Structure formats: structure tokens, C-alpha cells
Structure 1
């Protein structure tokens, strides 16, 4: 199947925090907010594992303009619904100081099953990510995309990182969400798969051994979606601003298409060891854009800015074909100049020394650009 035969559509899922405006703590109000949000967004808005979270999913989008419009609409409606309940919405990978002990698990069978199976890991699942689906219906070719995309997960994470604080402490990480999530047994970067059959055989073995109940509970950083004909990228924190969310969506689609085109030509790819890929993702979670990251192609550490430049060069032909280059390269430059969400949160904390000010920043940036 040629690249032109695939749609390379985009779907974005964002997880948000529900914030009590006076205390700035998380508050378990999703059951009150959902019915209001459903009136505007229908099934595009859903609960998440914790009752202090709410998730949106865009419709299938064909352009980045569509993505921007849908994220703006979704954020606007969820923020409005929360406001009617007297609360606010924040888009960040972790809450700066709320405790997991004060949260309630959503009374939905999927999340209750997670609680039964994973216990303390589920109680502490107080994190928010962004998942980007790219439409690729040929599942064999999608495996080729995953094999090639796994070496570029770290710059995506570094650009999106928005979770430096956890339980009132600066963790020293740009994406502490990644570290919380990495404790789950089927998380992190995937291995290389020789074929779709090998991928499916592993999924079947994981289910047969009762390692997972079903395939949607395999949480690799990039995987085949079980619900849609897509490759799903799950590595990034939820972005604080709409601009950053659009940036991640554009980069992800361009990465998927670039990898697809190389796979369709049978071009070889670097069979980088799993340990190095994990190390690269860990380093992006630890340092974000602040120091050196791992260039898996060259097998050495290089400044984060250089790795981001190399990533942009890799996906540039695809971005140009979609006429997205000017917008995405500009948004990347803004992030490099002003810092990712983690950097901006730390700067807010340094200004006043109060984590409540960090929450205020996140809430303000979540509304930025929604009109």
C-alpha cells in the first residue's frame, strides 16, 4: 500500500485535572461535570481513572487546523462545564501538590478492574497524558512504523514534559508522570517486532497468561490501537497550551508518515537495543530540554537542542508536504526559547515560592488561545 493510500488522519486524546479554585487542590467532581460537558461534546468527553480527572478525544481530523479547532472547542466546553460546577481545569502531567490518598477511583468497571489488578499503582495513577492517533489501516505497515518511530520518542517527550512536581516536591524530573507510569508492567517503549503475526502472538500470550485482561491494557509508548485503525503514540505528557498540543500532534503525524514511507520502500532501520531506547526516554523524562539527550541513531549523548533539530530534519519533508512546516517549526522554536511546561512551572514557583501559583499558571495556560 502506498503512502497516498493511507489517510494519516489525526486524533488527539487529552487528560485534564479538575481543580478546586480556592485550595487549588484536585477535586473529585467528574460525575457532576460530565453531564454538563456531554451536552456540548457528547461522547468526546469521558471520565478517567480518578474522579478528579476528565478526558477529551477529538473527532478524526485531517489537518492541523482541524486539530487546533477541536482542541480549542473541547477545552472551552470542559472549562465551561467545570465553571458551572464551581471548579477549574488544568492541563499538566501531574498536580504539583495534591495527594493520591485524597482521590477517589472512578466507579466504572474498567477502572475498578484496574484497581483490583494493580492496587497501589492504580491509587497513585494521578497523572495526565496526551495520546495521538495517526490513521494507518495496513496493520503490517503499522508495525514497520512502530519499529522506526521508537527511536524518536524521547524528543517528543522532552518537548511535552509538564510534570516536575509531585506531592509538593520538585522531583528533579521534567516528566515525573513518565516515572509514575513506568512502574506499570506493560508500559514504556515497545520492542522491535519482525511482523504483525509476532506482535499479535505476544498480545495473545499476554492475555492467555492473564498478564492483561485484554489488549487495550497493553500500555506501550507507541502501539497498535485496538479500537481504531491507527498507530497510537502515548509517550507525551498532556501539554499545558493548545499551541503545544498542536505541535505534538503535527510532529507525531509527520513522524508516523516518514516512518511509513521508509517502511514501504523496505529501507532498513536501526535495530537499537531496548535498553538504550528506555534509557533515552528516561533521560528525556529526567532532563527535558535542559541538557543532553541520547541520539539513538549516533549512539551518543548530544545537546537537547541538537536532537530536536535532528528530529525536525527527519520529519521536515512530511511536514512540508502537509504545509505544516512553518507552523510546527515555529512552535518548536517557541518551546525551545521559552521552555517546556516543566520549565515554566519551575519558573512560576521560583517567582513566589508557592505551589498554588504553579497551579494558577497551569490553569491560565490551559485556557490560553481558546478565545
Structure 2
């Protein structure tokens, strides 16, 4: 979502947008491969209006426009993937929509030339150079920073379940990590990643940000790597916790759930309902369990302090969002997408089953490329 596209809007959740990041691989071998032509075109704004560069030349990012309906989100996701695929084709490459590559790693990822990326490497050194992961970010429109902070404070217990529904990174450096979202563990190495403690209001956010800037960890709010953060340049709250979704359907579902949750939590804040009390240790445990299990086992509820069946947890979330989704005319579409996801499993689960069936990691990469491309038809 570019600032130029963002009209002023006082309604919580009327607008939303989605950013997706992709690896670039060579067709046939599916090796992670630099795309200097694609990166240069993206840097110059010549790869399509929805395509942007990423920190490595083996990656591309897409960003939807400002959307108001799920149909618009879907159309922009399809268009963005098509534009990114065309940019990748400049270098004879294709998109791999998974958060980690099945065998290659940061060793084969040249940093994209550009002031922003050079500054990131200068600030974070090896952490920046080893950022061989891709994610999916959802922006939801909010009227002001106080609303964004109120939602952020209340969203913390929901982050693990949303993560569990999007895992696409079971492999790293050629090893089955045993996780559905290894990206989550890799990302958490940054000192400013994860979920912040409750901030209270806009002034509380500003104080925390000022301290982080003073420490040198970040230059400004655009470099906060929190799971959920107020956008530094848009009138939105941004959910950054998800692995990149292999299929367009899963990306649409994630965006729909995030927007509905924002509307519901903003309503609770407006009614003066208190921020849920969650110990940071319990929240980290819930986040770890979600990254480990995905939808295939039991998750940890950081409020009730007990393990719950993942499917039951999804049902509980839908129950909390049902009235809002019904009012928005999105209930039928969202529940159909949820049932489809529960029926086939996450990308991570299907990648692992492909590996177990074939013993061939190239078959895994081929499946990811094929499944992701199907959404561009």
C-alpha cells in the first residue's frame, strides 16, 4: 500500500492491503538464484505498479493497492503475483511462494544495491545478511495512532493462532526443522521482533519507539519488527506475523481474519473493555507452539494457560468474529476458506508430506512453485 493510494478514512477496517514476499528460483533445478534484472527493475519502479524490491536480489515483494473488499484483495494478489512473475522472467526465473527455501540459504543471497538495504546491513550486520525468509503482511485502516495501539495491545493473544494457520517454512538449510514456521524462530533473533508489552496509548508507543531509536536498534518506526505494529507511513495497523502463503486463497483468508479481528478489537476498546492480561513468557510459549505445530496438533492458549486442539482454536476464533464477518457479508467466504484450509492442511504440512513421499526436496520446491502459480490463472 503506497501512501499516495491511501485516502483519509475514519472507519476502522474499511480499507486493507496485503504485502507478499517471494523467493526467486531457477525453473528445472529450483535453486535459489539472484535476479539482478528483476531487482533493478523493481528498484526503478519498472517491474509493475505492485512490485517492489527486497533486501536480497533473490527476492521480490508485491504490495496491493488500498482495497475495501475481499474480491479486490484477491484481484490485487493475483495481479501482483503475475507482475512479479513477469519481472522474475527477465532473469529466466520463477517465484517460490514459501517463507524458506527447501535447501538453499542466505549464503546464495546477494544484498540488493540501494541505500535502504545497505543501511540495514550496516545496522544489523549478520542478522540482515541472513534474512533468507519471506512473509505476508496485512495492513488494516485505522483512524489514528491511539486506535492502532488499542488494537495492538488486545491482539497479542491472537497472534499465535493466526501464525499457526499460515506456516510455510518447514525446511531451512536443507534440513527438516520439525517446525511449520521456522521463519518465526529465525525472525525472533532480532532484538526488536515478537510482541511488545501493552503500550497503553499513542504516547506510550512513542516513548517505547524513542527508546529503541536511542538504543540504535532501529532508525525509526518503519524498522520495528514486531508481529503487529502501527505503520510508520500509512494510517494502518500492520500484522507482520504470517509466513508467506503459498496459495492466494490462504492469503485472502489471512487478510480477512486480520481485518475482522481489528474491527472486533477496536470495538472492544471503544466500549472500554480491558486489555487481556498475558504474561510475556506465556505469549512466547504460545508463539513457539504455533510455529512448531501449525494446525496439526495442539496449541497453547496464553489466556487459559492450557493446550487446545488447533481446530477447536480456529473454531473459537471464528465464533468471536462471526457477527462482524456476517455484518460485512464475508462469513460464507471466510468459513469456506477455513474449511478448505483445514481439509488440505497448511503449506508447511503439504511440503513435508511431499518430502516424506518422494524423498526429493526438488519435488517440494516444484510443488510450491506449481501451487503458487495456480493462483495466477
Task: Provide the TM-score with structure 2 as the length reference.
Answer: 0.94
**Kept after mapping to 1: 8 A contact 2:38/2:87:** no
Aligned partner of 1:252 in structure 2 is 258
What is the alpha-carbon distance in structure 2 between the residues aligned to residue 211 and residue 115 of structure 1?
A: 12
Using a 3 Å threshold, how does the CA distance of structure 1 residues 30 and 235 change in structure 2: closer, same or farther?
farther
Match of 1:41 among 26, 45, 48: 48
Aligned partner of 1:134 in structure 2 is 140
**Kept after mapping to 2: 8 A contact 1:192/1:271:** no
**Kept after mapping to 1: 8 A contact 2:165/2:346:** yes
How many residues are matched? 368
Is residue 50 of structure 1 aligned with residue 56 of structure 2?
yes
**Kept after mapping to 2: 8 A contact 1:15/1:56:** yes
Provide Cα deviations, 1:48-74, integer angstroms capped at 9, x if missing partner.
111100000000000000000000111
Cα-Cα RMSD: 1.7
- Tell me by how many angstroms 1:84 deviates: 4.1
Task: List gaps (5 residues or longer) in structure 2.
Answer: 1-8
Aligned partner of 2:180 in structure 1 is 174
Aligned partner of 2:4 in structure 1 is none
Is residue 81 of structure 1 aligned with residue 79 of structure 2?
no
Using a 3 Å threshold, how does the CA distance of structure 1 residues 338 and 34 change in structure 2: closer, same or farther?
farther
**Kept after mapping to 2: 8 A contact 1:16/1:91:** yes
**Kept after mapping to 1: 8 A contact 2:36/2:91:** no
Range 206-215 or range 221-230, more displaced: 206-215
Using a 3 Å threshold, how does the CA distance of structure 1 residues 41 and 300 change in structure 2: closer, same or farther?
same
**Kept after mapping to 1: 8 A contact 2:24/2:33:** yes
What is the alpha-carbon distance in structure 2 between the residues aligned to residue 219 and residue 208 of structure 1?
A: 16
Provide Cα deviations, 1:88-123, integer angstroms capped at 9, x if missing partner.
111101001013212101111111112112222122
Aligned partner of 1:196 in structure 2 is 202
What is the alpha-carbon distance in structure 2 between the residues aligned to residue 132 and residue 65 of structure 1?
A: 15
What is the alpha-carbon distance in structure 2 between the residues aligned to residue 234 and residue 132 of structure 1?
A: 7
**Kept after mapping to 1: 8 A contact 2:24/2:88:** yes
**Kept after mapping to 2: 8 A contact 1:164/1:176:** yes
Is residue 287 of structure 1 aligned with residue 293 of structure 2?
yes
What is the alpha-carbon distance in structure 2 between the residues aligned to residue 362 and residue 231 of structure 1?
A: 29
Q: SS at the partner of 2:48? A: helix
What is the alpha-carbon distance in structure 2 between the residues aligned to residue 280 and residue 171 of structure 1?
A: 18
**Kept after mapping to 2: 8 A contact 1:222/1:231:** yes
**Kept after mapping to 1: 8 A contact 2:41/2:47:** no
What is the alpha-carbon distance in structure 2 between the residues aligned to residue 115 and residue 141 of structure 1?
A: 33
Match of 1:217 among 210, 217, 223: 223
- Tell me by how many angstroms 1:209 deviates: 2.7
What is the alpha-carbon distance in structure 2 between the residues aligned to residue 50 and residue 163 of structure 1?
A: 18
Match of 2:245 among 239, 250, 259: 239
What is the alpha-carbon distance in structure 2 between the residues aligned to residue 75 and residue 235 of structure 1?
A: 20
Is residue 64 of structure 1 aligned with residue 64 of structure 2?
no
What is the alpha-carbon distance in structure 2 between the residues aligned to residue 34 and residue 310 of structure 1?
A: 46
**Kept after mapping to 2: 8 A contact 1:16/1:53:** yes
Aligned partner of 2:366 in structure 1 is 360
Q: SS at the partner of 1:278? A: helix
Provide Cα deviations, 1:341-365, integer angstroms capped at 9, x if missing partner.
1001011112211100111011011
Task: List gaps (5 residues or longer) in structure 1.
Answer: none
Provide Cα deviations, 1:142-201, integer angstroms capped at 9, x if missing partner.
211111111101111111000000011100000001111000010011211122111111
**Kept after mapping to 1: 8 A contact 2:123/2:217:** no
- Tell me by how many angstroms 1:38 deviates: 4.8
**Kept after mapping to 2: 8 A contact 1:129/1:237:** yes
- Tell me by how many angstroms 1:7 deviates: 4.8
**Kept after mapping to 2: 8 A contact 1:158/1:284:** yes
Aligned partner of 2:351 in structure 1 is 345
What is the alpha-carbon distance in structure 2 between the residues aligned to residue 21 and residue 237 of structure 1?
A: 23
Is residue 120 of structure 1 aligned with residue 120 of structure 2?
no
Task: Provide the TM-score with structure 1 as the length reference.
Answer: 0.95
What is the alpha-carbon distance in structure 1 between the residues aligned to residue 38 and residue 134 of structure 2?
A: 20
- Tell me by how many angstroms 1:40 deviates: 6.3
